[in-house]
Amino acid sequence: MYSGGNFEADKYAVGCASARSVAGPWSKRNDNPVFSGRGAIRGPGHNSFVFGPDAATPYVVYHGYVGDTAGRKVLLDRLTWTGDLPRIAGPTDGDQPVPPPPVFDEAVPHRRAEAWVRGGWVEFAGARFALGRADVWHQVEVIEIAGRFSLRIGGVLRASRPVFWPAHPLRRFGSDGEVVHVTVTSSLDDGAVHELPAASSYVWQWGGRGPLELELAVDGTIDLVLGGEVTTHEAERGAFRLVRAAYEHGTDEIAVHAGADGALVTDLAVRARP
């Protein structure tokens, strides 16, 4: 996502481009801008992504002019993805709902851990990684999905490999320095596009024993199965629709069953909730 136009003008807005590599080539969307002024808010842009208190739920922070107030104000809205299209629940300038806190469920094989470290190195799953400067703070992220972990330092991928023994992620984490603001959340993100032929199914393993929240982009008609509950969701073919669901009980798996015309599903995001 990028900002374009004169930042002092009402038409300043946010566009979206995509690429298979950060080195490009990049292609802009035909329907840009994907986020522009509305109501009392003019010229939103200069955006950045942040995670909520659970270190897993994304938000976008941006600035914009609000009414006749002088200068630009810092604003924040919830961010979701629907078939590679960012959707921002705004622009708004009011109070946001308090984001859910992190929830760690030992039974879930998917988790995201985040910490800030000041030191020379961090160690995870038996491997040591240099941080660079030891006198500054580094953001360290570990994502585990079904027995495989990836580790990022300052947003840069440093390792991706199998995890050979089950344990809480912080039991495998060490450093020679200070470690603060540690957050561990049971969560699952799957941005792959799954093409489901007619009457076929796709299943994600979950295993949690507590409440969960789910988001899923759907193109076509599906039945979503969470534990003992089945709900039907429809979207016109050729246009993804964002589906949201919540389930108050534990479930071993999350399943989707395609209708008679098949379906596409992508951008699954599941979070354990209190």
Residue 215's CATH number: 2.60.120.260
**Residue ending a domain, choose from 144, 169, 185:** 185
pLDDT reported for residue 41: 93
The answer to whether residue 17 scores a pLDDT higher than 70 is yes
Domain that holds residue 11: 2-88
Question: Residue 34: which residues within 8 A CB-CB, separation 6 or more?
Answer: 1, 14, 15, 16, 85, 86, 87, 88
* DSSP string over 35-96: B--BTTEEEEEEEEEEE-TTSSSEEEEEEEEETT-SS-EEEEEEEEEETTEEEE-----SPP
Question: Residue 180: which residues within 8 A CB-CB, separation 6 or more?
Answer: 115, 116, 117
Q: Give the pLDDT band of residue 164 (cuts 50, 70, 90).
A: low
CATH at 168: 2.60.120.200
Structural domains in the chain (count): 3
**Residue ending a domain, choose from 185, 202, 228:** 185
Q: Give the other-Cβ count within 10 Å of 186's Cβ.
A: 27
Residue 103 placed within a domain: no
Question: Whole-model pTM above 0.75?
Answer: yes
Q: Give the other-Cβ count within 10 Å of 68's Cβ.
A: 6
Residue 11 DSSP label? T
In this structure, are residues 153 and 122 in contact, taking their beta carbons and an 8 Å threshold? yes
As given in the structure block, the two tokens for residue 177 are: 């320095």
Q: Are residues 79 and 130 in the same domain?
A: no
Q: Is 169 helix (H, G, I), strand (E, B) or coil?
A: helix
Most confident of 88-97, 157-166, 256-265: 256-265
Q: What is the mean pLDDT of residues 135-162?
A: 90
Share above pLDDT 70 across residues of the chain, in percent, rounded to a whole number: 97
Residue 154 placed within a domain: yes
Residue 93 placed within a domain: no
Residue 8 placed within a domain: yes
Q: Is 124 helix (H, G, I), strand (E, B) or coil?
A: strand
Taking only the tens place, the pLDDT of each residue in 48-61 is 988 888 888 889 99
Q: Are residues 222 and 254 in the same domain?
A: yes
Taking only the tens place, the pLDDT of each residue in 188-212 is 999 999 999 999 999 999 999 999 9
Among 127-141, 159-173, 242-256, the range scoring the smallest mean pLDDT is 159-173
User: Between 204 and 71, whose confidence is greater?
Assistant: 204
Average pLDDT of the chain, as a whole number: 90
Cα dihedral 78, 81, 84, 88, rounded to 10, equals -30
CA distance 237 to 195: 12
Residue 267 placed within a domain: yes
Q: Are residues 59 and 71 in the same domain?
A: yes
